């Protein structure tokens, strides 16, 4: 670490619902998503469900003047759907593919064909080593009869292991994506407790967005509202998680979500709301990295989570 000045860092995460020929208004929405990213002046954008490489290449060209660095994570038959656009140069980028990601005979769901994975890029900003992860876990489809629950829990377990074992030297860790889990689900708790990652919605100083931070809402015309009725019309399944280190304090200064239709258009950016978080990285000798015991990396905490 060489910098002594605080750094502001803006992150956006969005599930783009980019299934060509199936997702409604797909082509028009990618144009609007590109406009949104250019307007937001982000440091990095973490996108999911960019299923067609042509859509990635379209965004890459549209965003090149502001985000000269980008990466498309390929996996499975149709790709992982994960893409990253950044103002800052990547020092490395790689992907880890989960060992469980659905069933090939459940073709109508499609998760298996996408090869669910987590992508990672390494940034170095003024001497700070920033490790950024993007992921999309298996969809739930039916909470009452969730045959994919074991897959999602295994993915969450592998995700936390991947983050812990590859970011030990990081000054800052950021994770964004569609986890397809509610905040108190087992997989979410495993991920947070074992890595020490903090939830930007819980920690932010200022929030502007959908009620309770929901990112999947009944007002969205692309949403199956029947699935949301038991939850009061909205759920929070998209996240931006973060943690600092022994040398860098990280605080979430603000968090916002998009809210419904794009201004001037009859439809939203996606069937999910986008999340945008602004962080402040403050170099210090007493950062907020959790110790191994504090971050839940002990058998007792794991057992208590499994029993609850």
Helices (H), 101-248: 111-114, 149-166, 186-195, 200-203
Task: Respond yes or no: is residue 272 known to be catalytic.
Answer: yes
Q: Could you please report the per-residue DSSP string of 21-50?
A: TTSTTHHHHHHHHHHHHHHHT-SEEEEEEE
Q: How many CA atoms lie within 13 A of 198 on its CB side?
A: 20
Query: Residue 255: which H helix or E strand, with range?
Result: strand 248-257
- 239 alpha carbon, distance to own chain's centre: 5
Q: What sign does the dihedral 22-28-30-36 (CA atoms) show?
A: negative
Which residues on adjacent β-strands are paired with residue 97? 117
**CB-CB neighbours of 26 under 10 Å:** 18
Annotated catalytic sites, by residue? Answer: 272
């Amino acid at each position: 670490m060489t910098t002594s000045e605080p750094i502001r860092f803006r992150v956006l995460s969005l599930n783009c619902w980019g299934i060509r020929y199936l997702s409604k208004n797909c082509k028009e929405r990618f144009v609007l998503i590109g406009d949104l990213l250019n307007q937001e002046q982000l440091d990095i954008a973490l996108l999911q469900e960019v299923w067609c490489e042509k859509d990635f290449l379209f965004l890459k060209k549209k965003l090149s003047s502001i985000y000269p660095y980008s990466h498309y994570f390929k996996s499975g038959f149709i790709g992982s759907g994960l893409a990253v656009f950044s103002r800052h140069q990547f020092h490395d980028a790689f992907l880890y593919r989960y060992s469980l990601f659905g069933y090939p005979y459940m073709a109508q769901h499609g998760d298996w064909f996408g090869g669910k994975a987590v992508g990672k890029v390494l940034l170095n900003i003024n001497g700070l080593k920033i490790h950024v992860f993007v992921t999309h876990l298996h969809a739930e489809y039916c909470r009452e009869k969730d045959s994919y629950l074991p897959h999602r829990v295994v993915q969450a377990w592998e995700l936390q292991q991947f983050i812990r074992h590859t970011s030990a030297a990081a000054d800052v860790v950021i994770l964004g994506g569609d986890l397809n889990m509610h905040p108190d689900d087992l997989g979410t708790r495993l991920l947070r407790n074992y890595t020490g990652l903090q939830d930007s919605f819980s920690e932010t100083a200022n929030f502007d967005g959908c009620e309770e931070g929901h990112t999947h809402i009944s007002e969205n015309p692309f949403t199956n509202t029947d699935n949301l009725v038991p939850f009061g019309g909205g759920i929070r399944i998209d996240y931006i998680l973060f943690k600092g280190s022994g040398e860098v304090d990280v605080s979430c200064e603000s968090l916002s979500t998009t809210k419904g239709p794009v201004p001037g258009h009859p439809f939203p950016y996606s069937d999910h709301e986008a999340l945008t978080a602004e962080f402040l990285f403050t170099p210090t000798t007493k950062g907020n990295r959790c110790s191994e015991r504090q971050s839940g990396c002990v058998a007792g905490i794991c057992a208590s989570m499994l029993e609850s």
